[in-house]
Amino acid sequence: MRKKVTLKQIAKELDVSISTVSKALRDSIEISEDTRQKVQAFAKLYNYRPNNIALSLKNRKTKTIGIIIPEIVQHFFSKVITGIEMVANRKGYNVIVALSNESFDKEVINMQMLANGSIDGFILSIAKETLQQQDYHHFTETINQGMPIVMFDRVVNEIKCDKVIVDDVKGAKKAVNKLIENGCKNIAIITTKDYVSVGKLRTQGYLEALDDHKINPESSLILKIEDKLLSEDHLDQLENDIEQLFKQNDKIDGIFAVNELYGVTAAKVARRYGYEIPEALQIVSFSDGVLSRHSTPSLSTISQHGQKIGESAAELLIKRLEMEDEEDFNEDEDEIFETVVIETNLIERESTK
Amino acid sequence: MRKKVTLKQIAKELDVSISTVSKALRDSIEISEDTRQKVQAFAKLYNYRPNNIALSLKNRKTKTIGIIIPEIVQHFFSKVITGIEMVANRKGYNVIVALSNESFDKEVINMQMLANGSIDGFILSIAKETLQQQDYHHFTETINQGMPIVMFDRVVNEIKCDKVIVDDVKGAKKAVNKLIENGCKNIAIITTKDYVSVGKLRTQGYLEALDDHKINPESSLILKIEDKLLSEDHLDQLENDIEQLFKQNDKIDGIFAVNELYGVTAAKVARRYGYEIPEALQIVSFSDGVLSRHSTPSLSTISQHGQKIGESAAELLIKRLEMEDEEDFNEDEDEIFETVVIETNLIERESTK
DNA sequence: TTGTAGGCGTTATCAA
DNA sequence: TTGATAACGCCTACAA
């Protein structure tokens, strides 16, 4: 068991000072060719690597990014992480992941844990509970402490920071327009309660698309799901709710679902009701998932490009971090924040004509 | 912008020494009630939190766990992370995630990055490329440096460390036995090339189950997929391969797929060929995914309980970490490592009778 | 009851 | 060309 070597140990072995070793390893011109080689050889032999923690303490930066997301067992969030990790890694950053589990308390606790020096900045998507309570003090606090935050997907106007979002309204309109073009007359929407910002925006897009085509929205065609964590019970409930939708209105010939689970579940229920897809009923869902691609019938979706979102968020954060370095204490106060919008696009599969 | 306060600053403000502040905050009896309250009040006011990095450096432990997995965009791995994160968090640990992307080089680089003081121990699942090259020096090296590793799912006998695995052979036998019980006579297997340990083991289970029932394996019923990263091309290739399987052998009435993607794809191709599921063809797949539950028909699967695996791995690692603390330098050399086996179970859905 | 000093591993500055 | 020293933020043994 060869424990990690430190500069100190190398110094002792070679009978030179610590600073000589340090300089030699960093190819300083101050050091003679001779000792440099000696030191480097020894270091290589013992596989010396500078201790990250010590460096972090010294440099007052950790080169790691903290991610806080509601859950990881969701293709969209995994994709985002993949994207973040890619650019982070490329730029020499690590990524530390914490899950809020949609809970306000866990979000707060995790932020505090990480904010105490473990990371240089946050990339996060807000927990549902937080959105519901509209308590954002933990965000403002960390920002005030000088730690930058980049929010993605579930963002909130109250907080001034960089953001990466999807054109939810526009994406929803694309979906609904497609259905209208394809001849649907009675288009239902399956969405979330309004406190989930993306659900609200997608609902808005749905309404705007209808309006653009002079179609009056009907409340019997709008289903707002109380979105709890995924559980078997919840799934049953979801199916029941969708069944109610079909019972309430037997003219439905198009469905826009704000996520792919709603989409595939709608397809399942619809087929149980004898609807032919896409002949009698067409479906488009918002999604970045694996479900819509592999389900039968495969679902046409509005792809939100989770990985791109992640990449974009990481770039924004790192840009800001490196900026801070440069402008040694530019206490400008009124900083300018960016909001990057990632374009969605419609992927046509079997659930539309 | 109120930057984070340090002990030093508090000390200066209150005109006491740093150690007095430190002790006061930790409720030391050495400190007078008076100053203690004064210090604590001030600390609370300025929202003092000890700096993690400084603590890590001092204590020579970071209280964070490094996870290295091939990819995160796979339900199984997400589940494992969820499990790890749960127990880690409960025990005051953070979780830092790195992705190998199935590449040997990235695995090595990421390990080195994290091993330099950033974490206390690893939980990992080996990249395919590493398994192929059978080069495990980076594992032995980090273990030799005194950093514990827990491997899960894709493990390897050559490395002595704690492991968490699934009873792959037994699970596969459960699946195939079920098919046999249900009357299947010609059961095909869709599996990976043998260098993927879990694929190999599941294939072995398949063969053993057949043997138990005195059924001779037929090479025309065994399809070994060259498993690349998921891409559209790869998917087409997969469908082609499966089509070949059906062409080669028109008596197939049961399929055991070693993962759910193979399972749903087989179902898709089979239905294109006019097979009724489960009447004419029954399918069971290994899985921990969302696909099999929501596909049509939903797939019967051998559930591998990814979250439990994660929890178990985290418990093993943390146990070992805390052990190290106690036994101040017990250089015993021949340590004893555990291998925890997580039981699988068969979930019956629509793809079996 | 309070303060001083040393150390965790590095690097940077300045002195030798 | 090399080395001593201080600093990053914290804790603790020991001294006052």
Provide the pLDDT confidence category of residue A188 given band limits of 50, 70 and 90: very high
Whether B284 has its CB under 8 Å from any CB of chain A: the answer is no
Is A109:B49 a contact under the CB 8 Å cutoff? Answer: no
Whether B347 has its CB under 8 Å from any CB of chain A: the answer is no
Provide the pLDDT confidence category of residue B329 given band limits of 50, 70 and 90: very low
Residues 7-66 of B with CB under 7 A from strand D: 7-8, 18-19, 22-23, 25-26, 30, 50-51, 54-55, 57-58
Q: Which of A139-143, B229-233, B234-238 has the lowest mean pLDDT?
A: B229-233
Q: Report CB contact under 8 Å: B98, A97.
A: no
**What are the DSSP E strand ranges found in chain A?**
64-69, 94-99, 121-124, 149-152, 162-166, 187-192, 222-225, 254-257, 282-287, 300-303, 339-342, 345-347
Sign of the CA dihedral running B303, B304, B309, B310 = negative
Domains and CATH numbers, chain A: 7-50 (no CATH), 54-165+306-342 (3.40.50.2300), 168-304 (3.40.50.2300)
| Window 54-93 of A, Cβ < 8 Å to B | 54, 56-57, 62, 64, 71-75, 78-79, 81-82, 85, 89
d(CA A126, CA A268): 30
What pLDDT does residue A319 have? 96
d(CA A284, CA A322): 41
- Chain D: nucleotides below 7 Å from protein CB are 1-5, 7-14
Q: Report CB contact under 8 Å: B112, A78.
A: no
Q: Which residues in chain B have Cβ-Cβ distances shorter than 8 Å to A146?
A: 1, 3-4
Least Cα separation, residue B172 to chain A (angstroms): 23
Q: What is the mean pLDDT of residues B105-111?
A: 96
Whether A330 has its CB under 8 Å from any CB of chain B: the answer is no
Is pLDDT above 90 for A250?
no
Nearest to A1 among B51, B117, B144 (CB): B144
Is A4:A10 a contact under the CB 8 Å cutoff? Answer: no
d(CA A164, CA A153): 7
d(CA B73, CA A93): 20
Q: Which of A3-7, A137-141, A283-287 has the lowest mean pLDDT?
A: A3-7
What pLDDT does residue A262 have? 93
pLDDT (tens digit per residue) in A73-105: 999 999 999 999 999 999 999 999 999 999 999
% of residues, chain A, pLDDT over 90? 84
pLDDT (tens digit per residue) in B294-319: 888 899 999 999 999 999 999 999 99
What pLDDT does residue A234 have? 75
Q: Which residue of B has its CA nearest to A69?
A: B82
Q: Which residue of B has its CA nearest to A291?
A: B291
Least Cα separation, residue B97 to chain A (angstroms): 6
Whether A137 has its CB under 8 Å from any CB of chain B: the answer is no
N- to C-terminal Cα separation, chain A: 65
Residues 48-107 of A with CB under 7 A from strand D: 54, 57-58, 60
Separation of CA A9 and C1' D14 in angstroms? Answer: 27
pLDDT (tens digit per residue) in B112-143: 999 999 999 999 999 999 999 999 999 999 99
Whether B201 has its CB under 8 Å from any CB of chain A: the answer is no
Residue nearest to nucleotide D6 (CA to C1'): A58
Burial (CB count within 10 angstroms: exposed 0-12, middle 13-18, buried 19+), residue B230: middle
Q: Which nucleotide is nearest to A14 (CA to C1')?
A: D2
Is pLDDT above 90 for A245?
yes
Q: Which residues in chain A have Cβ-Cβ distances shorter than 8 Å to B271?
A: 296
Q: Report CB contact under 8 Å: A294, B290.
A: no
Other CB atoms closer than 10 Å to residue B227's CB: what's the count?
20
pLDDT (tens digit per residue) in A262-280: 999 999 999 888 899 999 9
What token pair was written down for A192? 């979330």
What token pair was written down for B260? 């759910």
Q: Which nucleotide is nearest to B9 (CA to C1')?
A: D9
SS (H, E, C) chain B: CCCCCCHHHHHHHHCCCHHHHHHHHCCCCCCCHHHHHHHHHHHHHCCCCCCHHHHHHHHCCCCEEEEEECCCCCHHHHHHHHHHHHHHHHCCCEEEEEECCCCHHHHHHHHHHHHCCCCCEEEECCCHHHHHHCCCHHHHHHHHCCCCEEEECCCCCCCCCEEEEECHHHHHHHHHHHHHHCCCCCEEEEEECCCCHHHHHHHHHHHHHHHHCCCCCCHHHEEEECCCCCCHHHHHHHHHHHHHHHHHCCCCCEEEECCHHHHHHHHHHHHHCCCCCCCCCEEEEEECCCHHHHCCCCCEEEECCHHHHHHHHHHHHHHHHHHHHHCCCCCCCCCCCCEEEECCEEECCCCCC
Q: Rounded to two decimals, what is the model's pTM?
A: 0.93
d(CA A152, CA A314): 10
| Window 245-264 of A, Cβ < 8 Å to B | 261, 264
Q: Report CB contact under 8 Å: A57, B52.
A: no
CA dist A84 → A98, A122, B1, B84, B348 (Å): 14, 11, 27, 20, 37
What token pair was written down for B177? 């036995």
Residues 6+ apart with CB under 8 A from B290: A290, A291, B75
Q: Which nucleotide is nearest to A56 (CA to C1')?
A: D8
Provide φ and ψ at B50, rounded to 5°: -60, 145
Q: Which nucleotide is nearest to A39 (CA to C1')?
A: D2
Is pLDDT above 80 for A16?
yes
- Using DSSP's 3-state secondary structure scheme, residue A345 falls into strand
Q: Report CB contact under 8 Å: A57, B53.
A: yes
Helix, strand, coil percentages (3-state) for chain A, rounded to 5, are: 45, 15, 35
Q: Report CB contact under 8 Å: B78, A79.
A: no
Whether A98 has its CB under 8 Å from any CB of chain B: the answer is yes
Burial (CB count within 10 angstroms: exposed 0-12, middle 13-18, buried 19+), residue A232: exposed
Q: Which residues in chain A have Cβ-Cβ distances shorter than 8 Å to B3?
A: 145-146
DSSP for A150-192 reads: EEESS--TTS-SEEEEE-HHHHHHHHHHHHHHTT-SSEEEEEE
Whether A140 has its CB under 8 Å from any CB of chain B: the answer is no
What pLDDT does residue A186 have? 96
Residue nearest to nucleotide C9 (CA to C1'): A54
Q: Which residues in chain B have Cβ-Cβ distances shorter than 8 Å to A296?
A: 267-268, 271, 295-296
Whether A231 has its CB under 8 Å from any CB of chain B: the answer is no
A vs B, Cβ pairs < 8 A, gives: 151
Provide the pLDDT confidence category of residue A334 given band limits of 50, 70 and 90: low
What pLDDT does residue B250 have? 87
